[in-house]
A and B are shown apart, each in its own frame.
Chain A
Amino acid sequence: MGRGEGGLTLDATAPEAAAPARRRRRRFDLTTPALLAPPVSWLAVFFLAPVVYVALYSFNVLALPPQATGFSVSAWHALIHGGVYLSLFWKSVQMSLLVSALVVVVAYPLAYFLALSGTPRKYILLLLLIAPFLTSYLLRVLAWKVILGDHGVINTFLSWVGLRSAEHPLSFLLYSRFAVMLVLGYVWLPFVALPIFVTLESLDRKLLEAASDLYASRLQAFVRVTLPLSMSGVVAAFLFVFIPTVGEFVTPTLVGGTSGYMYGNQIHDLFNSGFPDWQIGATLSLFLLGVVAALTLVFIRFLRVGEARAA
């Protein structure tokens, strides 16, 4: 007999007898709501409410005084028909996609080696991989300025070996899209390696043995077993990079110059500099949020289909 059975019932001959589950004493259990209330409240107060506020600004229901309030879609019209903002958004998406893909390609072999090589020092190596996180983000980014500048480490070296004159350094290294993508890749590499490492380490090795028993080459085993089963980690890693970098503004501010200016910088500037335009700033923010959410859903959907096929 279950713990809930045998309690008080109003009428033992009622139809509940045929359905024991419904006969259980209804207990008002507060445990689950109590456990869920803090995170749900947190989300409501610090995520949903701000998003609603931003939405109200984007439709001019709220406005920064002295601008008069009144429902308006003019900012959305400016976003869609203005051309400037959408092209900047597309530029940021391209940069972010490229960084995410390249970082995943670089991180995968690292994670593969750490997880499957059987080296006893894998956790020490993993620690080394994430060691840069022990220093501040700003410091890591600024260090690249020393490396990439016209008189930085790389240009000085090129000049020293005679490949480039000191008067004509490689100026694209700093204050450029290249610099932004390089630094973003560097910053996010450990984040990418970790989820892939976790997925690969939890891989059932017997599957690889079975593939070997069935005369699969190492490449075939990788392509048909390891890679499909690690795709959840790969997609998670990709999203780990793509979502934050598409709205990034700190790194482009520090090393991007005029050509590395991204969509996140535009949002930041609309709220903070020149002359505040919270309506367009809010609209751009919401658009970014919507696109990122939609892309995430697409990726998750893709992941589920992939997992089903692998199963």
Chain B
Amino acid sequence: MDVEREPFDRKLSRKEMLRLAGFAAGVTVVAGPAAACGAAAKHASTTTAKETGQLRVLDWAGYCNDMPHHATYTEYLRKYPENKPQYTFMTNESDALGKIRGGLKVDLFRPYVGWVEYFATSGLVEPWTTSLISNFKQLNPFMIKAGQYQGKQYGIPDDWGFDAVLYRSDKVKPTAESWGLIFDERYAGKIAWFDDLEMITIAGMHLGATDPWNQTSAEQDKSRSFLISKKHLARTFWSSETDLWQSFGSGDIWIAYAWPNDWVQMKAKGLPVVYMHPSVGKEKPIAWVGMFMLLKETPRPKAAHAYVDAWSAKKSAVWLENNYGYGHANTEARPTSSDLLNALQLTNPHAVGLPNAYLDRNIDQRATYARLWEEVKAA
């Protein structure tokens, strides 16, 4: 006697299984482009319509942009009380690049000066209409120039600072004001490097490369080998400031590649710290300037301009200087701390240029530099 098997017991043949998988894959293939087409159509309709929807900002984490006490935020909301910005965070420019290329829709974002040319030529951004930014005339002309590409204003300068060396003055006795301190054998295991391809530039500068931002193949190999040979001295590569503050503040680290805000934070913890500007030979700090960039064909250009205008205001600038220890492109802003004023040379309109520092610049071989840095980390 044959007994019919329960449906649950019936095994699927390979053919049936393949058919099911094929059906599911087909759904994916058909539904994906259809959804994308729908999104594109929607985008096209919004660009021609009145500005609607929340302003979308891609910015670095840690600026507390959406906090009610943030001067920029309140300044912007004065003009657009009904349009609170929606923030997405970037950990660095390449993270932003990946997110935008991956389909993230934002109106503006904030890479740094070394990336202006890259993004300007990428087809992702468009120039600003500076006449819509009332505070533009108060911004540092040198930095404004740095935000231009082929005469067009692709970047609106905002905060600025330096890449330099932070160290504990009670533990560390530098032999010279040099980047060499982050490669100093005497302090093995007490040093933190920055997790960025900028380390290739720093190594090149320290080793005397003709142009650290455009090293020859031989110079690149030398920089890479040098960093690998010194890697054992570095205890961590930091990519988040909070990690650096934790390790530096707890005494695990005494020397670090750092930004001005790190010096401010460590001083606030009561640590005896010095923010050293390298000056031996051709060595100098690297200066960076944040640059707001406008995404191409954004549906909210006016709101984006208003947001950048708010960032550029003197009130916002003073707030940033006092709370973060960074400089601001607004030349009328002055921090309340005279220490900070002196350390950042805020009264010097050329603080971010020679002879004080090298302004960060485009790296034509950025992909190669990135690969070299990855090899250093993996070695």
Give A residues with C-beta under 8 Å from B: 1-5, 20-21, 24, 29, 31-33, 35-37, 40-41, 43-45, 48-49, 64-66, 84-85, 87-88, 145, 149-152, 171, 174-175, 257-259, 261, 265-266, 269-278
- B8 close to A273 (CB less than 8 A): no
- A274 close to B2 (CB less than 8 A): no
Contact with A along B1-30 (1 / 0, CB 8 A): 111100110101000110011011101100
Q: Which of B56-64, B74-82, B89-97, B150-158 contacts A (4 or more CB under 8 A)?
A: B89-97
- B196 close to A273 (CB less than 8 A): yes
DSSP majority for the B interface? helix
- A150 close to B20 (CB less than 8 A): no
Q: Which of B125-133, B159-167, B234-242, B268-276 contacts A (4 or more CB under 8 A)?
A: B234-242
Min CB distance A284 to B, Å, is 10
Min CB distance B139 to A, Å, is 29
- B7 close to A258 (CB less than 8 A): no
B367 interface hit (Cβ, 8 Å): yes
Cβ contact of B24, chosen from A44, A64, A84, A265, cutoff 8 A: A44
Q: List 22 A-B contacts (CB under 8 A).
A: A2-B2, A2-B3, A32-B8, A40-B21, A40-B24, A44-B25, A45-B24, A65-B101, A84-B379, A145-B246, A145-B250, A150-B250, A175-B247, A258-B235, A258-B236, A261-B378, A265-B377, A273-B92, A273-B196, A274-B373, A276-B94, A277-B371
A3 to B17, CA, bound (A): 27
A266 to B376, CA, bound (A): 11
- A48 close to B25 (CB less than 8 A): yes
A209 to B29, CA, bound (A): 60
Question: A273 contacts which chain B residues (CB < 8 A)?
Answer: 91-92, 94-95, 195-196, 239
**The 5 nearest A-B residue pairs measured at CB:** A275-B370, A44-B24, A274-B370, A4-B4, A31-B7
B122 interface hit (Cβ, 8 Å): yes
A266 to B378, CA, bound (A): 7
B174 interface hit (Cβ, 8 Å): no
Question: B370 contacts which chain A residues (CB < 8 A)?
Answer: 274-275, 277
Give B residues with C-beta under 8 Å from A: 1-4, 7-8, 10, 12, 16-17, 20-21, 23-25, 27-28, 91-92, 94-95, 97-98, 101, 122-123, 189, 193, 195-197, 231-232, 234-237, 239, 246-247, 250-252, 366-367, 369-371, 373-375, 377-379
Min CB distance B103 to A, Å, is 12
Question: A266 contacts which chain B residues (CB < 8 A)?
Answer: 374, 377-378
Min CB distance A288 to B, Å, is 14
Q: Given contacts A36-B20, A40-B21, A151-B250, are A261 and B2 in contact (CB under 8 A)?
A: no
- A175 close to B20 (CB less than 8 A): no
- B252 close to A258 (CB less than 8 A): no
Min CB distance B67 to A, Å, is 23
Question: B4 contacts which chain A residues (CB < 8 A)?
Answer: 2-4, 24
Question: A151 contacts which chain B residues (CB < 8 A)?
Answer: 250-252
Cβ contact of A1, chosen from B1, B98, B237, cutoff 8 A: B1
- B21 close to A64 (CB less than 8 A): no
A49 to B28, CA, bound (A): 8
A149 to B235, CA, bound (A): 12
- A175 close to B24 (CB less than 8 A): no
Min CB distance A273 to B, Å, is 6
Min CB distance A265 to B, Å, is 8
Which of A20, A29, A145 has most chain B Cβ within 10 Å? A145
Nearest B-chain residue to A278, judged by Cβ: B98
Cβ contact of A271, chosen from B7, B17, B98, B377, cutoff 8 A: B98
Nearest B-chain residue to A67, judged by Cβ: B367
Q: Given contacts A66-B122, A84-B375, are A150 and B252 in contact (CB under 8 A)?
A: yes
Question: B2 contacts which chain A residues (CB < 8 A)?
Answer: 2, 4-5, 20-21, 24
Q: Given contacts A3-B4, A49-B28, are A275 and B366 in contact (CB under 8 A)?
A: yes
Q: Given contacts A24-B2, A275-B366, are A261 and B377 in contact (CB under 8 A)?
A: yes
Cβ contact of A32, chosen from B10, B28, B98, B252, cutoff 8 A: B10
Question: A37 contacts which chain B residues (CB < 8 A)?
Answer: 20, 23-24
Min CB distance B29 to A, Å, is 8
- B12 close to A274 (CB less than 8 A): no
A64 to B232, CA, bound (A): 34
- B7 close to A32 (CB less than 8 A): yes
Min CB distance A28 to B, Å, is 11
Min CB distance B168 to A, Å, is 12
- A275 close to B7 (CB less than 8 A): no
A139 to B88, CA, bound (A): 24
- B373 close to A84 (CB less than 8 A): no
- B12 close to A36 (CB less than 8 A): yes
A257-B237, A258-B232 are known; give 8 further A-B pairs, CB within 8 A: A5-B2, A49-B28, A88-B378, A149-B250, A151-B252, A258-B193, A258-B234, A272-B95
- A171 close to B235 (CB less than 8 A): yes
Question: B252 contacts which chain A residues (CB < 8 A)?
Answer: 149-151, 174-175
- B235 close to A40 (CB less than 8 A): no
- A269 close to B101 (CB less than 8 A): no
- B374 close to A269 (CB less than 8 A): yes
Question: A145 contacts which chain B residues (CB < 8 A)?
Answer: 246, 250
Nearest B-chain residue to A171, judged by Cβ: B189
Nearest A-chain residue to B95, judged by Cβ: A272
- A277 close to B367 (CB less than 8 A): yes
Question: A271 contacts which chain B residues (CB < 8 A)?
Answer: 98
Min CB distance A82 to B, Å, is 8
